Structures are given as C-alpha cells and as structure tokens.
Amino acid sequence: MPLGGILFITIFVIVFGCILLLLASKLGRRVYDPVKFQTYECGIPVQEKKDTKISVKFYLTAILFIIFDIEIIFMYPWATTFKDFILSGQGLYVFVSMMVFIGVFVYGLFWEVKSKALEWD
Amino acid sequence: MGTDVFQIAVNCIKLVIVFLLMVQAVPLLVWLERRGSAFIQNRFGPNRVGPLGLLQLLADAVKFLFKEEFVPANAVKFLYYAAPVAALVPATLAFAAIPLSTPVSVDAFEMFGQTWGPYTFLWQGYEINVGIVYVLGVSSLAAYSILMAGWGSGNKFSLMGALRASSQIISYELALGLSIVGVIMMYGTFNLTEMIAQQQGTLSFQFLGHTITSSWLPNWGIFYQPLGALIFFAATFAESNRLPFDLAEGEAELVAGFHVEYGGFKMLLFFIGEYGHMLVASALMATFFFGGWGIPFVGVAEVQAWAATVVGAGTSASLLTGLVHFMVFTLKLAIFLWIFIHVRWTLPRFRYDQLMELGWKTMLPWALFNTVLTSIIFLIAHS
C-alpha cells in the first residue's frame, strides 16, 4: 500500500520545511524599522489596499477548466481499454461512441470561442 | 509500506532519499542555470567561489539561512508562512511515484540472530497503479501554494501574479492531460513501470497484420506519439511557470509575481518547488517518450549478466544493475533539464492574451486532433 508512504513523506516534507523556516527566523539578525514592514510598492507610499477590486477573469477560466478537465479524465479509462476492445472485435463501436463524446467536447469548445469566453483584454 | 521492520525502515529511508535528491538538485540546477545563462549571453557566471564557482551553492545556502526574518505588516501571517512549505509538497509527492531504475532484489540474510528477506525493493518512493493520474493530480496542487502566497502577502502585485500563475496552470493542464491520452492508448495502462517495460528493445509494431521492425531505432514512445510529446513538453513549461510562459513573474509589470514579499529561506523553498516541478516534468518526459531508465539496445538481463561478472551474482549484482540504470535515467533527466534552461535564456516572454490563446485555441485542439488521429490509426492497424 503506497498510502502509508504518501502520508509519511507528506509529514516529513512539512516538518522539514517548518524546521528550516524556524531555523532561518532564529539565525537572522533583526533590525527594526517601521518603513520596512510596509507593503512593497515601487518606491512610493502604498497606492491601494490589498482588497482593491481587480477585474479577474479567473473564475471563468476556472469553471471552464473544471468542465473540460472532467471530460478529459473521462477519456482516460476509455484509452486504457481501447486496444483490448479492438482485439476483441468491438473496436468500431467503442470508437464511434467516443467520437460522439469528442464531438460534444469540440462543440463546447467551439461555442466558448464563439461566445468570446476565451478573449483576454 | 512493507511487512516487517526492515522493509518499512528501508522504504522510509528511500522516501527521504528521493526527497533529498530533489532538494539537492536545486542548487546544482541554479548553478547550471546561472552558468548556462552567462554562457548563452557571452559573459561570466558565478566563477569565484571554488572551482568553476561550484561552491557558490554552499555560499548561497548559508547566506539564505542568515537573512533577516521579515513579515510585511499587511500579510495574513498563517498563509504567508504556510505557502513556502506547501510549495514543497506537490513536487515531492509526484517525484516519489516515478520509477528511477530497475527493482533491486535482496537475498535472504542474517541479522540480529534472525533471518530477513528475501526482499524486492523498487527504485522509487512508492509504486502507484494509476501512476499518471496520481502524478498529474498531485502536481497541479501547486496552484494552492501560489494562491496562498499571493493572497497571504497582502500585496496587489503578488495577488495579480498568483491569479495569473494559477489560471495559466489550469489552462495548460487541459492540453497536458489530453496529450497523454494517446500515450495511454498506446501502452494500455496507467502504470509507469509497465510503460517503461513496454519501451524495451528495438522499434517493432503491428500494422494490418504485419509486424514491422527496425534494427536501428529503440522502441520509444516518441516514435509513436511525436505530436503528443511536443504538446506535452510545451505544456510542462507552462505548468512549471518557466519562460516563455513565466507571465506570473513578468518583471516589467509585476515586479516578481507571487513572491514579491518573500526573501531568504522562504524564497528558497519556492525555488525548490519550481525546480522540483521541472524535475518531475523531465522525468515524465523521459518515462512516457524516451524509455525511462531503459538503455537503448541493451536489455536489463544483459546488464545483469555484466554486473554478475563484475561483483558476483546476488544482491550486489542487482544493486549495481539498478545503479547503472539510475545513471542512464539521470542522464536523460539532465538533457531535458538543460533544454528547460536553454529555452529560458533563448526565447522572449509571451503576452498574456497570446499565452491563453495558445493554450485554449491552439494546443487544446491539436491535442484533441492527436487523440482522434491515434485512435483512428489504432483502429486501422489492429483490425
């Protein structure tokens, strides 16, 4: 079972990272200066707060990603068994049913491009 | 993990070694990157500390450790500190699942008045049956650490860099995932070890009932899936945020991207994560398309026979065989890592809309085309 291994290495890496950060925070010299702790800006006082509203197209990209990624993951099990199906003589049936699925996929992509969901400005 | 104490101990040590391999590769790669960029741009790289500047890595590590600890006043403290640690995890988990060499068989032996073994140890952290899905899934967790860093440091540059980086990662994830479908179809398995086993020997395949063989080409995936390999390699550049896709840290517009507010060792941990992703990408490239740890034209049995004449049959011969194959794998890895570095210092950066257009409108359709083409050729060739 690899689960124990995964758990072990995850905990090990997290502990390793924390120890390094702790070590680095203890070893470094500290000089206090109020200006230093201000948020970085290009040499002038900070212009905006961090929760300034930025127009982000990220949510749209993320939604599209989830839809398409699920469709792609759906192809994986098909791909592993495709060769066996061909050898057992059912190749054409399996191929055509996948092509219908890919047709829907392509239509979705085409529709997205047409509705300008993939335009960046 | 294993059935007895010895096996569990060895497996744990192995995992730690895989992690340390990744960590120690980073300073070497940084050195290579700096020397390589200097070589490409016709100037000197780091050449003062030690021979060829090789000890620069040590000096850098010490310097990073003694840097001043710093948290910006606006930061969300927990996220700010958790992000660098979280950056380490995905690359390590993915790298540990990749087979690095042939399994080592250990004969039964006596220790502490007890008979142990015989064992077979895999030359990898752990073997996972759905290797590809696991590696792809785990390595895209990197988006979390980037978003944590971007939000946690409370700076608009970091936030924008993080949003860019994560939307870029998930956009190219699609082309990456789709370019693999042809590979899976070809090998008929998710298991990375079986993929490598199928790439042994010289090129030979079935076409319309004939067996076609070639004596001067190895049986590598690249000859069956050239388009898939190209798309996969290009997408991994975007996945690991490397030039020409490093929009996340466009210096001219975003200063440094999601790690503007980071310095010292926290910065170094992000570096380890990024180079770890490069390592995983190169290792996957070698595994899918270039025979993994296999030596072209030389079978495992031949290496084993040679090893038996050198150190005598048994455990040590098996260990030597594993070592030789590990060297070959490292060589393949090094070639791809050098391509990563060479591309970074040769090509200019994309504009952001061009990047997204390339991912969604060019690479995704081409990867889809590759899938359809492969399945049609399969249908014709095998019936």
Both structure tokens of B253: 């517009």
How confident is the model at residue B350, as a pLDDT?
80
Both structure tokens of A114: 């047409």
How confident is the model at residue B331, as a pLDDT?
93
- Burial call B49-74: b when 16+ CB within 10 Å, e when fewer: eeeebeebbeebeeebbebebbbbeb
* More reliable by pLDDT, B92 or A35: B92
Which of B250, B225, B155 minimizes the C-alpha distance to B378?
A: B225
Query: What are the start-end ranges of the H helices in A28-90?
Result: 58-87
Region B343-364: what's the mean pLDDT? Answer: 84
Q: Where are the domains of chain A?
A: 3-114
Tell me, yes or no, if A79 comes closer than 8 A to chain B by beta carbon: yes
Amino acid (one-letter) located at A79? A
Q: How confident is the model at residue A100 (pLDDT cuts 50, 70, 90)?
A: very high
Strand partners, B114: B111
pLDDT for residue B1 is more than 70: no
Residue A84 has its nearest CB partner, among B127, B188, B371, at: B188
Distance CA A116, CA A105 (A): 17
Residue with the two structure tokens 């390590």:
B92
Read off the pLDDT of residues B202-241 as tens digits, 9 standing for 90 and up. 777 777 777 778 778 888 888 888 999 999 998 888 888 7
Region B62-77: what's the mean pLDDT? Answer: 81
Tell me, yes or no, if A109 comes closer than 8 A to chain B by beta carbon: yes
A30-34, A114-118, B133-137, B249-253 — which one is most confidently predicted on average?
B133-137
Q: Write out chain B residues lying below 8 Å of A25, CB-based.
A: 69
Q: How confident is the model at residue B42 (pLDDT cuts 50, 70, 90)?
A: confident
Region B72-91: what's the mean pLDDT? Answer: 86
Region B20-47: what's the mean pLDDT? Answer: 86
How confident is the model at residue B165, as a pLDDT?
82
At A121 the three-state DSSP class reads: coil
* More reliable by pLDDT, A57 or B322: B322
- Across all residues in chain B, what is the average pLDDT? 84
Query: What are the start-end ranges of the H helices in chain B?
Result: 5-40, 56-65, 77-96, 131-139, 142-152, 156-187, 192-198, 226-239, 251-254, 264-289, 300-311, 315-344, 352-357, 364-382
What ipTM is given for this predicted complex? 0.83
Tell me, yes or no, if B73 comes closer than 8 A to chain A by beta carbon: yes
Tell me, yes or no, if A115 comes closer than 8 A to chain B by beta carbon: no
Q: Write out chain A residues lying below 8 Å of B190, CB-based.
A: 76, 80
Q: How confident is the model at residue B250 (pLDDT cuts 50, 70, 90)?
A: low
Q: How confident is the model at residue A119 (pLDDT cuts 50, 70, 90)?
A: confident
Read off the pLDDT of residues B260-317 as tens digits, 9 standing for 90 and up. 778 778 888 888 888 888 899 999 999 999 888 888 888 888 888 888 888 877 788 8
Distance CA B383, CA B379 (A): 6
How confident is the model at residue A11, as a pLDDT?
92
Q: Residue B349: count other Cβ atoms within 10 Å of its Cβ.
A: 16
Specify the CATH architecture of the domain A3-114: Up-down Bundle (1.20)
Residue ranges of B 291-330 with Cβ closer than 8 A to chain A: none
How confident is the model at residue B336, as a pLDDT?
92
> Residue A28: CA atoms inside 13 Å, Cβ hemisphere, count?
22
How confident is the model at residue B315, as a pLDDT?
82
pLDDT for residue A6 is more than 80: yes
Read off the pLDDT of residues A30-88 as tens digits, 9 standing for 90 and up. 777 777 777 777 777 776 665 666 666 677 778 888 888 888 888 888 888 888 888 88
Q: Write out chain A residues lying below 8 Å of B157, CB-based.
A: 40
Q: How far is CA B193 from CA B17, B303, B331, in A?
A: 20, 18, 19
The mean-pLDDT minimum among B36-50, B109-123, B263-277 falls in B109-123
Residue of A nearest to B185 (CA): A79
Tell me, yes or no, if A70 comes closer than 8 A to chain B by beta carbon: no
Q: Residue B234: count other Cβ atoms within 10 Å of its Cβ.
A: 22
Region B363-371: what's the mean pLDDT? Answer: 91
How confident is the model at residue A50, as a pLDDT?
52
- In order, the DSSP letters of B153-204 are TT-HHHHHHHHHHHHHHHHHHHHHHHHHHHHHHHHT-S-HHHHHHHT-SEEE
Phi/psi of residue B164, each to 5°? -60, -50
How confident is the model at residue B160, as a pLDDT?
80
How confident is the model at residue A53, as a pLDDT?
66
Percentage of chain B exceeding pLDDT 70: 97
The mean-pLDDT minimum among A11-15, B98-102, B164-168 falls in B164-168
How confident is the model at residue B379, as a pLDDT?
86
Distance CA A79, CA A77 (A): 5
Tell me, yes or no, if A32 comes closer than 8 A to chain B by beta carbon: no
Taking each helix axis from N to C terminus, what angle separates B142-152 and B77-96, rounded to the nearest 10 degrees?
160
pLDDT for residue B29 is more than 70: yes
B40-54, B105-119, B184-198, B341-355 — which one is most confidently predicted on average?
B184-198
pLDDT for residue B320 is more than 80: yes
Q: Is the peptide bond before B118 cis (omega within 30 degrees of 0)?
A: yes
Q: Write out chain A residues lying below 8 Å of B19, CB-based.
A: 9, 12-13, 16
How confident is the model at residue A121, as a pLDDT?
63
Read off the pLDDT of residues B333-347 as tens digits, 9 standing for 90 and up. 999 999 988 888 888
